[in-house]
């Protein structure tokens, strides 16, 4: 699986991509694979604040509920509304079309403290 | 991987098939292969194969085997014929469940019990401690692997591997014969709400029998299925799962399993407590519900009615067959009938749900 080099990753299996002060956040291919058939996504509304390391929503498969954690702090400016009616997109294209939320980042933040694509892949390799 | 986990004889087969493995009550078991929804639908529409070798077996043998079996279980053992099976309960004196089990009558002097994996040692001790009869209870789990062939094409699939006429085995009856060339107990039972067979063979034959069934089912698109699909299938059929719908603090009447308790059959363990409960009136009961607002109820979530705590979800899941979010909950008895508005607490939010008739799914015969 391709883990984009220009993304950063968390040990909780989120990815984040920064463009200017906007961070796009999703779950990783590995996360959706572990969850299986995703049937429900619970996301915050635009305007809500999220805090790095805190849960901002959840993804549910047939079998399990999984919290999603914010990789950066800031304000939610956009939510991927399509996922409410088509959560299975998270199984199909988790790194692109099925992004979850966009966050306006507070300050320059701690983006660099997150895992690189290579580090994340060795992390999940070690976990598996 | 945790080396402490127990493995079935098919462990290597599951791994080779790429199954996702989980710790299921101390057993390293496949939760899914192709995906829970795909496997679930395969069982509803055609046929699926499950490794359920983690299940336990206990044999009761001797001149008074019928007396011990009848005494420790709730259902009417004395009404069974040779070759018949039934669902039953093992209860504590206080009326709660030790386990739910399948009882097979081989002969009046020989009974074969299929029990839950994580309860098998406890069940065996429980039965042995009450044995004041002329018979012996034997722990037999290590002598059996069990494979479940389930779905509308199960009969055609299974028939290819045996000379025993399977259409002659009625539902909840069994026959001893040969299956895929090895001695087998072939039971017309299951835990999916579909037609199907559960095949008990010696562990050393499990891999060959598994492969024979997959080969026989190929024309029907048979798929190996994991415990994830087994759970959604049994929930739609409203079949109880130990630790969820039933347990030590729940009686058969509360679990809506009054039909497995035969109060008039004579003395059995737990009877006095059940009689007392009937006299006082059962105060809570299992009910099926469907979510009416967005959200999925999960096991253990709190249920409230009119703002007051009223019970909890014993099992909850999306239903792949109905495409709705369903569940079972233990509710005050007066609210356990269909059409009641209830609220399920999902991550601190009260989400609307409504009690509905069960089972959620019933196959057309």
Query: What's the pLDDT tens digit per position in B321-339?
Result: 999 999 999 999 999 999 9
Same domain? B78 vs B209: no
Nearest neighbour of B228 by CB, restricted to A34, A40, A63: A63
Q: Quick check: A45 contacting B, CB < 8 Å? A: no
Same domain? B229 vs B148: yes
Does the pLDDT value for residue B2 go beyond 60? no
Contacts of A89 (CB under 8 A, 6+ apart): A82, A83, A97, A98
In 3D, which of B223, B248, B273, B237 has the Cα closest to residue B43?
A: B223
Does the pLDDT value for residue B231 go beyond 90? yes
Same domain? B203 vs B326: no
Nearest neighbour of B298 by CB, restricted to A34, A65, A84: A65
Contact B295 A40 (CB under 8 A): yes
In a domain, B4, yes or no: no
C-beta neighbour count of B264 within 10 angstroms? 6
Note whether B152 and B194 are within 8 A (CB): yes
Residues B91 and B339: their CA atoms lie apart, in Å, by 32
Same domain? B293 vs B320: yes
Instruction: Report the number of distinct structural domains present in chain B.
Output: 3
Same domain? B33 vs B158: yes
In a domain, B276, yes or no: no
Q: For residue A97, give the 3-state DSSP assignment.
A: coil
- Tokens representing B44? 């509803």
In a domain, B177, yes or no: yes
Length of chain A: 128
Same domain? B310 vs B175: no
State which of B140, B170, B185 marks the end of a domain.
B140
Q: Nearest C-alpha of chain A: how many angstroms from B317?
A: 6
Lowest mean pLDDT among A50-64, B142-156, B179-193: A50-64
In a domain, B84, yes or no: yes
pLDDT at B138: 98
Q: Which residues in chain A are closer than 8 Å to B241, comparing Cβ atoms?
A: none
Residue of B nearest to A32 (CA): B35
Q: Which residues in chain B are closer than 8 Å to A60, comparing Cβ atoms?
A: 296
Does the pLDDT value for residue A128 go beyond 70? no
| CATH number, domain containing residue B25 | 3.30.1360.120
Q: What percent of chain B has pLDDT over 90?
A: 98
- Tokens representing B202? 């010696």
Express each pLDDT in A108-125 by its tens digit. Answer: 667 778 999 999 999 998
CA angle B293, A56, A18 (to 5 degrees): 130
Nearest neighbour of B318 by CB, restricted to A34, A42, A62: A62
Q: For residue A34, give the 3-state DSSP assignment.
A: helix
Mean pLDDT of chain A: 92
Paired strand residues for B330: B286, B312
pLDDT at B205: 98
DSSP state of B7: -
Q: Which residues in chain A are closer than 8 Å to B296, comparing Cβ atoms?
A: 39-40, 60, 65
In 3D, which of A125, A122, A120, A126 has the Cα closest to residue A28?
A: A120
| CATH number, domain containing residue B120 | 3.30.70.1400
Same domain? B312 vs B179: no
Radius of gyration over alpha carbons of chain A, in Å? 13
Q: Which residues in chain B are closer than 8 Å to A42, comparing Cβ atoms?
A: 295, 347
pLDDT at A108: 65
pLDDT at A113: 83
In a domain, B258, yes or no: no
State which of B91, B114, B140 marks the end of a domain.
B140
Nearest neighbour of A36 by CB, restricted to B35, B231, B296: B35
**Omega of the bond leading into B359 within 30 degrees of 0 (cis):** yes
| CATH number, domain containing residue B295 | 2.40.30.110
In 3D, which of A5, A58, A61, A57 has the Cα closest to residue A33?
A: A61
Contacts of B301 (CB under 8 A, 6+ apart): B312, B313, B316, B344, B345, B346
C-beta neighbour count of B356 within 10 angstroms? 16
In a domain, B252, yes or no: no
Same domain? B123 vs B174: no
Residues B235 and B361: their CA atoms lie apart, in Å, by 9
Same domain? B227 vs B151: yes
- Which domains are seen in chain A, by residue range? 8-127 (2.40.50.100)
pLDDT band at A127 (very low <50, low <70, confident <90, very high): low
Same domain? B212 vs B153: yes
Q: What number is the average pLDDT over the span A44-63?
A: 95
In a domain, B323, yes or no: yes
List the alpha helices (DSSP H) in B21-153.
36-45, 65-72, 120-129
Q: For residue B231, give the 3-state DSSP assignment.
A: helix
Q: What number is the average pLDDT over the span B285-292?
A: 98
In a domain, B253, yes or no: no
Express each pLDDT in B69-125 by its tens digit. Answer: 999 999 999 999 999 999 999 999 999 999 999 999 999 999 999 999 999 999 999
Q: Quick check: A127 contacting B, CB < 8 Å? A: no
Q: Quick check: A92 contacting B, CB < 8 Å? A: no
Residues A58 and B275: their CA atoms lie apart, in Å, by 46
Distances (CA, A) of A94 to A18, A22, A79: 16, 18, 15
Express each pLDDT in B242-281 by its tens digit. Answer: 999 999 999 999 999 999 999 999 999 999 999 999 999 9
Its domain, for residue B133, covers 56-140
Q: Quick check: B56 contacting A, CB < 8 Å? A: no
Express each pLDDT in A59-103 by its tens digit. Answer: 999 988 999 999 999 999 999 999 999 999 999 999 999 999 999
State which of B91, B121, B140 marks the end of a domain.
B140
Same domain? B308 vs B207: no
Does the pLDDT value for residue B218 go beyond 80? yes
Paired strand residues for B97: B91
Note whether A39 and A32 are within 8 A (CB): no
Mean pLDDT of chain B: 97
Q: Quick check: B182 contacting A, CB < 8 Å? A: no
Contact B36 A58 (CB under 8 A): no
Same domain? B49 vs B153: yes
């Amino acid at each position: 699986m391709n883990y984009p080099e220009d993304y950063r990753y968390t040990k909780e299996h989120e990815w984040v991509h920064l463009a200017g002060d906007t961070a796009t956040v999703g779950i990783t291919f590995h996360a959706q694979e572990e969850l299986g058939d995703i049937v429900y996504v619970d996301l915050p509304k635009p305007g809500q604040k999220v805090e790095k390391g805190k849960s901002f929503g959840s993804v549910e498969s047939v079998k399990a509920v999984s919290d999603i954690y914010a990789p950066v702090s800031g304000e939610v400016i956009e939510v991927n509304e399509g996922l409410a009616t088509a959560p299975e997109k998270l199984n199909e294209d988790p790194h692109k079309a099925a992004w979850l939320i966009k966050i306006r980042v507070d300050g320059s933040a701690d983006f660099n403290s997150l895992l690189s694509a290579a580090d994340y892949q060795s992390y999940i390799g070690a976990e598996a | 991987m945790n080396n402490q986990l127990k493995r079935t004889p098919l462990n290597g087969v599951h791994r080779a098939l790429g199954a996702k493995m989980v710790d299921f009550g101390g057993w390293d078991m496949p939760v899914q292969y192709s995906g829970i929804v795909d496997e679930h639908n395969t069982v509803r529409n055609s046929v699926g194969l499950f490794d359920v070798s983690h299940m336990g077996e206990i044999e009761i043998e001797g001149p008074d085997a019928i007396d011990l079996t009848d005494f420790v279980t709730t259902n009417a053992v004395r009404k069974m014929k040779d070759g018949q099976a039934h669902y039953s309960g093992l209860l504590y004196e206080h009326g709660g469940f030790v386990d739910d089990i399948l009882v097979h009558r081989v002969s009046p002097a020989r009974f074969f019990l299929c029990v839950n994996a994580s309860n098998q040692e406890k069940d065996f001790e429980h039965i042995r401690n009450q044995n004041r009869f002329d018979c012996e209870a034997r722990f037999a789990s290590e002598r059996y692997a069990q494979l479940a062939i389930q779905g509308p094409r199960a009969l055609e699939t299974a028939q290819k591997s045996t000379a025993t006429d399977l259409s002659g085995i009625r539902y909840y009856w069994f026959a001893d014969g040969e299956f895929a060339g090895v001695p087998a107990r072939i039971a017309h039972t299951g835990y999916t709400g579909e037609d199907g067979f559960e095949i008990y063979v010696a562990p050393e034959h499990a891999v060959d029998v598994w492969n024979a069934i997959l080969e026989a089912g190929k024309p029907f698109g048979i798929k190996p299925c994991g415990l994830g699909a087994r759970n959604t299938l049994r929930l739609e059929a409203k079949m109880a799962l130990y630790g969820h719908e039933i347990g030590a603090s729940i009686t058969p009447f509360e679990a809506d399993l009054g039909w497995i308790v035969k109060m008039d059959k004579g003395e059995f363990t737990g009877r006095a407590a059940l009689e007392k409960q009937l006299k006082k009136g059962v105060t809570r009961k299992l009910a099926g519900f469907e979510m009416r607002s967005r959200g999925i109820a999960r096991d253990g979530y709190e249920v409230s009615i009119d703002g007051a705590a009223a019970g909890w979800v014993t099992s909850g899941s999306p239903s792949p067959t109905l495409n709705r979010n369903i569940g079972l909950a233990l509710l005050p008895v007066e609210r356990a009938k269909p059409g009641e508005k209830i609220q399920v607490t999902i991550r601190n939010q009260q989400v609307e749900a409504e009690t509905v008739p069960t089972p959620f799914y019933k196959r057309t015969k």
